Structure formats: C-alpha cells, structure tokens
Chain A
Amino acid sequence: MGQTLTEQILSNNIGRAVAPGELIIVRPDVSMGHDSLSPGIIRTVQQQLGAAKVADPDQIVLVMDHVAPASNVSVANSHNEIRHFAREQGIRLFEVGRGICHQVLVEEKLARPGRIIVGSDSHSTSYGAVGAFGTGMGSTDIALSWATGKVWFRVPETIRIDVSGRFQPGVDAKDLALKLGREMGIGGATYAAIEYHGLGWMPMNMRQTIASMAIELGAKAGIFPPDGEVADRFDVPEWLFVDETAVYTQTISVDLDTLEPQIAIPHAPDDVVDLSEVIGTKIDAVFLGTCTNGRYEDMRVAADLLADKQIHPHVRLLVSPASRNELLRAMADDTMQILLNAGATLTTPGCGPCMGRHAGTLGEGDTCFSTGNRNFQGRMGHPSSQIYLGSPMVAAATALAGKITDPRTL
C-alpha cells in the first residue's frame, strides 16, 4: 500500500513509515513567525519555557508583514523586540517591505518540495503549492518548536481532489478555491490533508492561490504534486511522488470546463454563490492583494481590464503586492503604471488591510470586494462592514463600475 504525499513527507522526516491517526514528533525544516504573533512567541520561549537560546536558529524565519511598517508606537515597539531577538539569536529576518511570509518563503526557496514548514499563520497551507507540507499553528506550538526544535502532529488522513478541464475565459484559480469551499464547507477537510490532482499544467502562482485557501476548508495542509512549473524551478526529492496505490479517505471531482466565477458573500468564505447572483452589489473599496492573490499575474489581469480607464469615483482601489519581487515585476512592464493611472493606491508589499489593522481598515457600513481569503464579520475593520471575496478579474471590473461586475461583460 502506497503513501500519500503528506505521509511520504512525514515519514521521511521521522525516518520510518507513518500511518494516519498516529501521533508523532517531528523536526520541521522551517518554523516561521510573523510580526503579529512573534513578540508573544518570544516571551513564551524565554520566560515560560526558560530557553535563553533557541534550539536551532537556522530552522527559524521571521517575517515583518502583518502590520508593517508599524501603525503606532505599540506596534513599533513590538517590531523592535522582534529585531532585537533576531540579532541576538542569529535568526534570519525579512524586514518591512520584503513581502508576505508565504510569498517570501517560496521566493527564497525555504519552502520547497518535501519540506515540513510550520508557521504562526493559518495560511501556512500555502507552502503546499510547491509540494511542501505547510501548516499553521498557534503561538505555543511555534514557541515549542523554537525552544526544542520539535512539534507534535497527528498524521492526517488525505482527501483527494481530482480536477478535470480548463478554466474558461473570466474564470481562474480563485474561482476553483472558492468552489471547493462551496462544495466542502468551512469544516469539510478538518484534521485532513488535501491533495490536488489533474493540475500538472497549472502555473505556480495559481497553485499558491489554491493552497493558501486549503485552511478555509479546515485542512491541515493542501499539497500539489511537485510537477510542472514546480518541478522546473525546484529540486524534487526522489522519494516524493504520486503513488497511485495511496489510500484517500474521500475523492472529490471538480470540472473546470463548467466552472463559473465564484463569489464568497458576507460573512464566511464558504458562503459562496455564482457571480451572476450578486451582480450590481454596490462596493466602496476594492482590495487587490494577499497571499492568495497578490502576485504579478493577479495585478496583470487587473491591469488588462483597467488599461486607459479610470476606476469609479466612489471606489477606492488598494493594491498590496505580495512581495517586493512581485511589485518589481509589476514595475518592469506597464502593469503598475496602468493600475496607478486608473486611480489605484499602492501600499507596502505585505498583508495590507486583509486583517483590518492598517492600510485601508474598513469603516462603519463599508462594503469591500477583496481578492483575499477571509470575509469573517469585522475582519477588515468595523463589525458592520461587509466583505465579498472573488478573483482579481472580478475585482478590477468591480472597481471600474463601483458595483460587482462580470469582467466578461466589459
């Protein structure tokens, strides 16, 4: 009996074959902390666990992305605590403006096929895009990994997703991610890993979009086989491959040929409808960015719709590139110029207003169309604000019209 990708990666790490349901102790290849939670993690390491030194500074990566640059004195002091800790312990730190942790770790190849990456961020499932086992954890788990080098895991069962067909015009990876939420529900993959099949043709940026939202199904990880563009860019260990005799608890089939643009309506990412059901909904703010949809390709499809046009006068369009590299790519051609000429506001590469703490927090009664991954009540600001989630193409069309608009009708 063969193993799923998750079972292969966990088995390789502990040096023996594992089976779903087992509790195991692993040494993650990378343990990532970001600016929002690292100050608390550092206190747990030093004060509660009494570790003057971390177990292995090379295992740890710190990224300033959540509220960066600092929005107030308290945040600025927290950032300085993290900088001080990184220098004192010899830990690699990616500073303000470098980008969102999940994008940076892929760019730096710290996330790569076969690795285990834990992060203080639930969207750490993103690393599955490059064939890594990525999973989010709380501050205590991350603190333990820094102090001891280890974390505990229950080996998850795996759910297989078989995708057929190709995206039709106006439909993209975000629509598939939202469709999976619609089919499986926000708890549909709780405690399980997901494996995506039939997508060897899919470019890496789209894989990142889909894997980032595995957590929106409750999944522990969402892994793509390391093929296609990922195999071209990364070395793939010979023990990591799709074994057709592996056992899956469930198989779900999705056909892209018939997939329509999908929109998550307030206030849950699995409350998903076809775009046609919400056409015309008035929008105050459009947000293009996040670990889900903040890459060059996302900005480019928006630019293609916005070229030589102006956004609606009652709309503010915020663009937060996922990383400095992605921003530079958008500046190397006319992508960023088109967006800014159309009336967009560019923020520092990073998480932007996704969790409502800076750079475009929503006010009372505001309605936002976001390319992000979560629309929980109050996430981006005032509890009365509303968030719709959809693709970059629908976001651009919506920014032009001031109401939710089908890009295929422009």
Chain B
Amino acid sequence: MSRIWTFGSDVDTDQIVPGRFAPFMLKEGDDVKNYAFVTANPAFNKEAQPGDIIVAADNFGCGSSREYAPAALKRRQIGGIIANSFARIFFRNAVNLGIPVFVAPDVVAAVQDGDTAVLDPATGQITLNGTTYQMPPLPGFAQEIITAGGIVPYVRTHGRFPGETVT
C-alpha cells in the first residue's frame, strides 16, 4: 500500500526543490532528495516513503526546467505522479527519468491526502478506497521510455530513440 500525498495547482519546481538546494550548491555527500518539498510540504520531506504517490491538481511542475526537481522525487522512489495536467518540461523530464506519470482527473477528484492506494504503473490501474480506476495510458512513445526505466537506459539498449528509424 502506498500513501497518497496531495498537492494543489501550479506546484512549481522551486517548491519541489528550491534553487538554493541545487545539487551543485550542496556539500559533498549531501543528496538533492533530502530537499524534496523541503519548505512547501515539510511532512512529505520527512515522511514520504518509496512507492508513495503524488496526486496534484493542474499544471504540476511548472516553472524552471531544473531536472533535479523530478530527479529528487525519483531518488525518493516515488511510485508515480497523478495530476489533472502537467507542465510540459516537467512532464518530459519525468518520462525521461522513468517516473510513471498519469493524467487522470477522476482519480485526482477521488483522493484525500493520507489515503492509501495500490498503483500498477504498467497497466495504469489504481485501487483506492475499494474502487479500481483505469487511468488513460500515456502515448506509446512515452510508455516505452518509462517501461525501459527512462530514456537513457532506452537509448543505451536500443541505440536509437523510440519510434526512430535508423538509416
């Protein structure tokens, strides 16, 4: 079972990881994952466990392109992010890092902070409060990347981008 952490609309990357905790601002041995939502949601920062699920309203991840924001969530081993919509740079960063992301307003509307759920990232099924929801799958291209664990492992394995014809 995974705990659900809910967020509102327009959560920007400065809230996910403030710029002053950028990896290259940190001391040797420190880790950007220690600063995930450090001021925006201190409870998440202290208590989030591997597999936990983030559920947000509109435009999650807007603002700076800093990939260390989704990377910090990846390093916390977040099980997935479900939102009404994502900001585009965050969305592609999340896909590239292999973080399961779902656009599913019905799930967003149904959950409360602190609920527990079971998420199957491969099928997009989530069970919460006794109800199972089928979330819309991502485009095949994005799904292939996430299944491979990210675009870096994908390109290393296949020697090309998903869908690319190598001539």
Q: Which of B92-100, B110-118, B126-134 contacts A (4 or more CB under 8 A)?
A: B92-100
If the complex has contacts A138-B89, A190-B88, are A383 and B39 also in contact, measured as CB distance less than 8 A?
yes
B161 A187 Cβ-Cβ under 8 A: no
CB-CB nearest in chain B for A136: B65
A139 B67 Cβ-Cβ under 8 A: yes
CB-CB nearest in chain B for A36: B22
A23 B163 Cβ-Cβ under 8 A: yes
Most buried by B among A67, A148, A376: A376
A191 B66 Cβ-Cβ under 8 A: no
B59 A378 Cβ-Cβ under 8 A: no
A187 B20 Cβ-Cβ under 8 A: no
Decide yes or no whether A396 CB sits under 8 A from chain B.
no
B14 A218 Cβ-Cβ under 8 A: no
Decide yes or no whether B68 CB sits under 8 A from chain A.
yes
Task: Give the number of residues in B that approach A within 8 Å (Cβ atoms).
Answer: 47
B24 A141 Cβ-Cβ under 8 A: no
Q: Which of A75, A140, A191 contacts B24 (CB 8 A)?
A: A75
In terms of DSSP, what is the predominant structure of the interface of chain A?
loop
**A377 cross-chain contacts in B, Cβ below 8 A:** 14-15, 39-40
Q: Mark B1-45, 1 if CB is under 8 A from A, else 0.
A: 000000001101011001110111111100000000001100000
Decide yes or no whether A132 CB sits under 8 A from chain B.
no
**B67 cross-chain contacts in A, Cβ below 8 A:** 37, 40, 138-140
B88 A220 Cβ-Cβ under 8 A: yes
If the complex has contacts A23-B163, A78-B24, A121-B65, are A144 and B59 also in contact, measured as CB distance less than 8 A?
no
**A37 cross-chain contacts in B, Cβ below 8 A:** 66-67
- Additional pairs, 19, CB under 8 Å, beyond known A136-B89, A379-B14: A25-B164, A37-B66, A39-B24, A137-B92, A137-B93, A138-B93, A140-B93, A140-B151, A144-B152, A148-B155, A186-B62, A187-B9, A187-B87, A268-B12, A356-B19, A374-B14, A377-B39, A379-B19, A381-B20
Q: Which residues of B contact A (CB under 8 A)?
A: 9-10, 12, 14-15, 18-20, 22-28, 39-40, 58-59, 62-68, 70, 85-89, 92-93, 96-97, 139, 141, 150-152, 155-156, 161-164
Please list 16 pairs of residues, one from A and one from B, whose beta carbons are closer than 8 Å in the complex, sorted by A's number. A23-B139, A36-B22, A37-B67, A40-B67, A122-B64, A122-B65, A122-B89, A137-B89, A138-B96, A140-B96, A141-B92, A141-B151, A143-B152, A187-B9, A187-B85, A381-B20
